[in-house]
């Protein structure tokens, strides 16, 4: 009877270890390092071909739509930084995507300096103003709203 119980315990431990290993190995493959545009530009070569997530602002007048409606090229910069990152994205473009929008892009940084984004997310405005009130509020008032 003790041999059966020992086999059962050993088998359970082996199964638990295998499941734990699969969870951590899967999570490690899906983890994406988060950085700013300037950080990516500074460490660029070490991230070529790696999955990376970058936060920045869309450079005004840099958005160029491609031949297909789901294709767009644009530039991203840091809020304070000087580095500009060219981005190519093919997919559904968020409604809030526009000049000066805060964006988070996820994808791969190529050796040619272009970032090929798989995911494009826009940040929501920091303050909500109802649409019916927007026409009556000046930009100065909005800052203090």
In terms of average pLDDT, the best of 38-47, 55-64, 72-81 is: 55-64
* pLDDT at 117 (0 to 100): 92
Q: Is residue 49, in this structure, part of any structural domain at all?
A: yes
Nearest in space to 117 (alpha carbons), one of 100, 92, 81: 92
Per the structure, the complete domain to which residue 2 belongs is given by 1-31
**Is residue 133 a part of any domain in this protein?**
no
When comparing pLDDT for 115 and 124, which is higher?
115
42 and 27 within one domain: no
- Please check whether residues 40 and 103 belong to one and the same domain: yes
Q: Are residues 38 and 23 in the same domain?
A: no
Q: For residue 59, is pLDDT > 50?
A: yes
pTM above 0.95, yes or no: no
pLDDT per position as a tens digit, 79-103? 776 789 999 999 988 888 898 889 9
């Amino acid at each position: 009877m003790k041999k059966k119980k020992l086999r059962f315990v050993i088998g359970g431990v082996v199964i638990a270890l295998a499941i734990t290993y699969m969870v951590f190995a899967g999570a490690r493959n899906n983890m994406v390092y988060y950085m700013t545009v300037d950080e990516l530009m500074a460490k660029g070569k070490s991230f070529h071909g790696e999955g990376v997530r970058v936060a920045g602002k869309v450079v005004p007048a840099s958005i160029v739509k491609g031949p297909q409606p789901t294709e767009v090229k644009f530039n991203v910069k840091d809020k304070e930084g000087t580095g500009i990152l060219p981005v190519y994205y093919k997919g559904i473009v968020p409604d809030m995507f526009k000049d000066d929008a805060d964006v988070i892009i996820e994808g791969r940084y190529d050796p040619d300096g272009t970032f090929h984004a798989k995911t494009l997310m826009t940040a929501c405005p920091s303050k909500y103003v109802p649409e019916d009130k927007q026409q009556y509020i000046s930009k100065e008032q909005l800052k203090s709203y």
